[in-house]
Amino acid sequence: MDIATVTDVFDETNNIKTIKFKWPRKAEPGQFVMVWMPGVDEVPMSLSHAGKEGGITVLGVGEATLAMHDLRPDDVIGIRGPYGRGFDLRGRKVLAIGGGSGAAALALAVEKAVAGKKQVTCALGARTAGELLFRARFAGLGAQVHVATDDGSEGHHGFVTELAAKLISRNEPDLIIACGPEPMLKAVADMSLKAGIRCQCSLERYMKCGIGLCGSCQCGKFTVCRDGPVFTGEELALMDDFGKRKRDPVGRNVGLGR
């Protein structure tokens, strides 16, 4: 484990913050790290920044993530990783679909795809306009950005999957990458397979070890930390529990609504 010094903490939306830290390790787009908050917990987080500094973009929902929101420059955290399989960005035309804080897991992939001279379109969804994540960042890179909000406060009024369906028909991408709530990912994977377009989704599961030993992140025959977190549409189709069930912190199989 590396002990990393926090260099900056700033708001992205009213409930999401980015924490940057001294951690000059290489990471592939879509990989994650285990972040140790001393005295609180260790949790998995997608890398939203990598290079001279590392960075995570955090939705404050539980004890550990709310503690991350309270971090200040010069505080220290533990970083283990990077772990897992990231995105395979082969293709000329990429559609990146982010739901809520899921856009954080797509950030490095969008950066790499744009740098590789690919045509990149982003569909970003949130409950309301004030919760849209990385719209300006992705547009600043040169990606075409479209948004959807559940309440209609900006862009398409409805789910981001509805917006994505329109963009698939209009732009005919040859690669779709996505991260967000699992019901959204199930809809994206189904629509991609039906359209015959390569699809990769970054899954979120409760993780304890990060290296495939504890089984807490089991999804079908796969462990999300070791075999993922990025899976192809074909792999997702083999997971009986994808979009239906997950394991809770004590290992019980529960519906996604719990």
**Taking the C-alpha atoms of 171, 176, 177 and 180 in order, what is their torsion angle to the nearest 10 degrees?**
80
Give pLDDT tens digits for 103-139: 999 999 999 999 999 999 999 999 999 999 999 999 9
CA–CA gap between residue 252 and residue 232 (Å, rounded) = 26
In-domain check, residue 88: no
Given a cut of 70, is residue 251 above it in pLDDT? Answer: no
Lowest mean per-residue pLDDT among 24-38, 93-107, 140-154, 213-227: 213-227
Count helices and strands in the chain by DSSP H and E runs: 7, 17
Residue after which a domain boundary falls, among 83, 113, 132: 83
Lowest mean per-residue pLDDT among 135-144, 150-159, 200-209: 200-209
In-domain check, residue 124: yes
pLDDT value, residue 175: 97
- Range of the structural domain that residue 107 is part of: 93-255
- Residue 143 in contact with residue 151, Cβ under 8 Å? no
Same domain, 72 and 111: no
CA–CA gap between residue 132 and residue 127 (Å, rounded) = 8
Q: What token pair was written down for 255?
A: 């519906």
pLDDT value, residue 245: 67
Top-confidence residue, 120 or 213: 120
Same domain, 106 and 233: yes
Same domain, 34 and 158: no
Given a cut of 90, is residue 216 above it in pLDDT? Answer: no
Give pLDDT tens digits for 154-168: 999 999 999 999 999
In-domain check, residue 164: yes
Strands, E assignment, 127-194 = 144-149, 156-157, 175-179
Same domain, 54 and 159: no
Given a cut of 80, is residue 258 above it in pLDDT? Answer: no
Average pLDDT, rounded, for the chain: 93
Given a cut of 90, is residue 241 above it in pLDDT? Answer: no
Buried b (16+ CB within 10 A) or exposed e, 193-217: beeebbbbbbbbbbbbbbebeeebb
Which has the closest alpha carbon to 87: 230, 236, 185, 237? 230
Give pLDDT tens digits for 70-111: 999 999 999 999 999 999 999 999 999 999 999 999 999 999
Given a cut of 90, is residue 257 above it in pLDDT? Answer: no
Lowest mean per-residue pLDDT among 16-30, 39-53, 204-218, 221-235: 204-218
Residue written as token pair 């569909």: 123
Number of domains in the chain: 2
Residue after which a domain boundary falls, among 61, 83, 105: 83
Q: What angle do CA 211, 86, 12 make, to 5 degrees?
A: 100
- Find the CATH number of the domain harbouring 104: 3.40.50.80
Given a cut of 90, is residue 201 above it in pLDDT? Answer: yes
Give pLDDT tens digits for 221-232: 888 989 999 999
pLDDT value, residue 69: 97
CA–CA gap between residue 77 and residue 233 (Å, rounded) = 35
pLDDT value, residue 217: 82
- Find the CATH number of the domain harbouring 27: 2.40.30.10
Given a cut of 80, is residue 256 above it in pLDDT? Answer: no
